[in-house]
């Protein structure tokens, strides 16, 4: 699919995607793409010979993008260059306007609401079952509980709890602590 492009922005949530290779392949993969990483990419782009350069990161720093702007506008003839990230909003408008955007993110259907009879015994059993889950699984559970809450609540007083809970899970707070507090509050609201 991307073989026909010399340069592009590829949107994906899977940073371990298999990448097509044109000539020699260079992969620059970081959580944060910094100015030094941009300098390495620029240097690599001007090495003689057919090559593909893949810049992979969740966050591209503004100064790094500015440093690569000229390269992205006019890459060397024998170079294909791709920016791979999960959101186009993190890419400067000047770059987005000059490169085609290829969205290969999975289209995810919204999670099913969690069905849980709200009593203390069920809450306790549920919390025990999620004691050692990953951060991503915890966020999914929280979203499922959120959809369930929207279905059962007519007051929607706990929306801030979900927002703060999601942010705290992102900051590596123990998921069972966050989710147990939310479920107890939902239980108390139902009384």
DSSP string, 52-113: EEEEEEEEE-HHHHHHHHHHHHS--TTEEEEEEES-GGGS-HHHHTTS-EEE----PPPPPP
Q: How do the domains of the chain map onto residue ranges?
A: 2-103, 120-190
pLDDT (tens digit per residue) in 73-114: 999 988 899 999 988 999 999 999 999 998 887 765 666 778
User: In Å, how far are 2, 53, 65, 79 from 8, measured between CA atoms?
Assistant: 8, 11, 14, 12
Q: What percent of the chain has pLDDT over 90?
A: 48
Residue 157: CB partners within 8 Å, gap ≥ 6? 189
Q: What per-residue confidence (pLDDT) applies to 116?
A: 84
Architecture per CATH, 2-103: 3-Layer(aba) Sandwich (3.40)
| 50, pLDDT greater than 70 | yes
The two tokens of residue 182 are 């939310």
pLDDT (tens digit per residue) in 21-39: 556 788 889 989 999 999 9
């Amino acid at each position: 699919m991307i073989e026909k492009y010399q340069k592009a922005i590829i949107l994906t949530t899977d940073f371990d995607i298999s990448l097509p290779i044109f000539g020699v392949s260079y992969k620059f993969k970081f959580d944060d793409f910094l100015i030094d990483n941009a300098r390495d990419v620029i240097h690599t782009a001007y090495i003689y010979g057919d090559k593909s350069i893949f810049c992979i990161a969740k966050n591209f720093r503004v100064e790094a993008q500015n440093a690569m702007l000229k390269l992205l506008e006019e890459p060397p003839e024998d170079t294909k260059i791709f920016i791979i990230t999960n959101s186009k909003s993190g890419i400067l408008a000047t770059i987005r306007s000059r490169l085609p955007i290829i969205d290969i993110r999975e289209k995810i259907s919204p999670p099913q609401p969690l069905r849980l009879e709200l009593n203390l015994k069920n809450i306790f059993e549920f919390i025990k079952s999620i004691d050692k889950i990953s951060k991503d699984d915890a966020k999914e559970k929280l979203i499922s509980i959120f959809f369930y809450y929207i279905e059962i609540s007519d007051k929607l007083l706990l929306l801030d709890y979900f927002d703060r809970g999601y942010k705290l899970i992102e900051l590596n707070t123990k998921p069972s602590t966050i989710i147990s507090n939310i479920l107890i509050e939902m239980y108390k609201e139902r009384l």
